[in-house]
């Protein structure tokens, strides 16, 4: 199966193709890099940086992709009742995530001052003029939803360009659709402390995303911090989980639901099940908890027996 791997968006990208002209792989890479240039908050010229810089000013016309990014962010915020909130940028900066993670890891940036506040409910969008206006003092952090949406866009564009099947994995945010390479699109859900995956999800069409507090950690003067900010606390979540994985229709949904599930803890399993989202949690004992929807994606009995299904 033709595949490509490259670093982008502060993560590793993987693109897999079934059928279609082979040059589609190069096209996918170019497209993902283009989306990074539009959305990265670490690039001053990106549309998101420009949007954040104009917060409180006049509405700003943006590209269709960036308009959709903001739309999806609002949808995700509503669907999760605010647990997923891309306007936590001020909290992210105050927690110390002020530079690309490579720089944070080397200790190059430790400053964490910001006067930004949250304000998802006051973002103004106009579909006719394709303009966005952020409230004064509000910053938008594309974070994970940008990766999930990018995976969605690229997979859909690859299929439209002639691929029979496509899968894009952006830093663990996986979207797959169309004809799979074998019987299904099999996506392993990694277990942080075991060599074997916690489960392998067998998809025909869908997305898998994982949120974790074990990676993207850094040291501050107040101790270690991680990037999963709880909007209720305005600080990194203190939930007793290692990871939360969501299986949903689209990449942006899986990303938002994975983050909400992580922040909600085990109480989120049944709530997300009612929405139709399969969720797998790994707690800090390494135990794997799922809602009932996960089993429909797990084919192997041995994997199923390792899961603890949680019912209301």
Partner 1 sequence: MSPPPRASQPSDLPRRRPPTVGRPGPRRRHPAARARWAAAVVSGVAFSGLVAVMATNPVAGAAAITASHTSSSNATSTNSTQSTSSVSATPSSSSSSSAVTSSHAS
49-108: which residues touch partner 1 (CB under 8 A)?
70-71, 74-75, 77-83, 85
Element (H, E) at 184: none
Residue selected from 123, 138, 155, 159 as contacting partner 1 according to rule CB under 8 A: 123
Residue selected from 34, 61, 197, 222 as contacting partner 1 according to rule CB under 8 A: 197
Half-sphere exposure (CA, 13 Å, Cβ side) for 260?
A: 31
- Cα–Cα distances (Å) from 178 to 162, 169, 210, 255, 278, in that order, read 11, 15, 22, 21, 21
The span of 19-27, 47-55, 154-162, 266-274 binding partner 1 (CB under 8 A) equals: 266-274
Rounded Cα distance, 14 and 167, in Å:
8
Least distance (Å) between residue 8 CB and partner 1: 12
Residue selected from 182, 221, 223, 238 as contacting partner 1 according to rule CB under 8 A: 182
Q: Which of residues 137-166 bind partner 1 (CB under 8 A)?
A: none
Residue selected from 141, 206, 225, 229 as contacting partner 1 according to rule CB under 8 A: 206
Alpha helices in 80-160 (DSSP H): 89-94, 101-105, 143-160
Q: Which of residues 236-255 bind partner 1 (CB under 8 A)?
A: 242-243, 245, 247-250, 253-254
* Residue 18, SS3 per DSSP: strand
Least distance (Å) between residue 46 CB and partner 1: 20
Letters for 1-40 (x = contact with partner 1 by CB under 8 A, - = none) are: x---------xx-x-x------------------------
Burial (0-12, 13-18, 19+ Cβ within 10 Å), 305: exposed
Is there binding between residue 110 and partner 1 (CB under 8 A)?
no
Residue selected from 164, 186, 292, 304 as contacting partner 1 according to rule CB under 8 A: 186
Rounded Cα distance, 154 and 281, in Å:
28
Residue selected from 64, 195, 223, 301 as contacting partner 1 according to rule CB under 8 A: 195
Q: Which is nearer to partner 1, 8 or 44 (CB)?
A: 8
Q: How many other CB atoms are found less than 10 A from the CB of residue 184?
A: 15
Q: Which is nearer to partner 1, 142 or 171 (CB)?
A: 171
Least distance (Å) between residue 54 CB and partner 1: 17
Residue selected from 231, 236, 241, 259 as contacting partner 1 according to rule CB under 8 A: 231
Q: Which is nearer to partner 1, 45 or 176 (CB)?
A: 176
Q: Which is nearer to partner 1, 19 or 192 (CB)?
A: 192
The span of 38-46, 48-56, 107-115, 117-125 binding partner 1 (CB under 8 A) equals: 117-125
Instruction: Check residue 211 and give left, alpha or beta (phi > 0: left; psi -120 to 50: alpha).
Output: beta
* Residue 292, SS3 per DSSP: helix
Q: How many other CB atoms are found less than 10 A from the CB of residue 204?
A: 13
Residue selected from 4, 65, 157, 309 as contacting partner 1 according to rule CB under 8 A: 309
Q: Are 235 and 105 in contact (CB under 8 A)?
A: no
Angle at 264 between CA 259 and CA 268, to 5 degrees: 100
Q: Which is nearer to partner 1, 38 or 187 (CB)?
A: 187
Q: Which is nearer to partner 1, 112 or 144 (CB)?
A: 144
Burial (0-12, 13-18, 19+ Cβ within 10 Å), 297: buried
């Amino acid at each position: 199966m033709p595949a490509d791997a490259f670093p982008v968006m502060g993560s590793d990208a993987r693109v897999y193709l079934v059928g279609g002209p082979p040059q589609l792989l190069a096209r996918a890479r170019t497209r993902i890099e283009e989306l990074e240039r539009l959305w990265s908050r670490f690039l001053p010229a990106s549309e998101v940086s420009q949007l954040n810089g104009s917060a409180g000013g006049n509405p700003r016309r943006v590209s269709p992709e960036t308009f959709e990014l903001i739309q999806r962010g609002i949808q995700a915020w509503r669907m999760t009742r605010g647990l997923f909130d891309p306007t936590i940028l001020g909290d992210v900066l105050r927690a110390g995530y002020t530079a690309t993670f490579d720089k944070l890891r080397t200790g190059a940036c430790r400053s964490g001052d910001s006067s930004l506040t949250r304000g998802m409910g006051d973002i103004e969008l106009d579909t006719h003029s394709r303009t966005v206006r952020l409230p004064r003092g509000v910053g938008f952090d594309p974070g994970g939803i940008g990766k999930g949406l990018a995976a969605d866009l690229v997979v859909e564009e690859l299929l439209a360009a002639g691929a029979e099947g496509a899968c894009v994995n952006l830093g663990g945010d996986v979207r797959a659709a169309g004809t799979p390479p074998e019987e299904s699109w099999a996506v392993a859900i990694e277990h942080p402390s075991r060599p074997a995956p916690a489960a392998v999800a067998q998809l025909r069409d869908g997305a898998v995303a994982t949120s974790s507090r074990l990676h993207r950690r850094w040291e501050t003067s107040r101790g270690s911090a991680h990037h999963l900010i709880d909007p209720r606390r305005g600080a990194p979540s203190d939930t007793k989980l290692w990871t939360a994985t969501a299986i949903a229709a689209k990449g942006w949904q899986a990303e938002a639901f994975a983050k909400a599930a992580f922040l909600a803890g085990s109480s989120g399993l049944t709530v997300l099940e009612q929405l139709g989202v399969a969720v797998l949690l790994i707690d800090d004992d390494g135990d794997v908890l799922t809602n009932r929807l996960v089993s429909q994606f797990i084919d192997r009995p041995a994997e199923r027996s390792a899961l603890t299904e949680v019912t209301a």
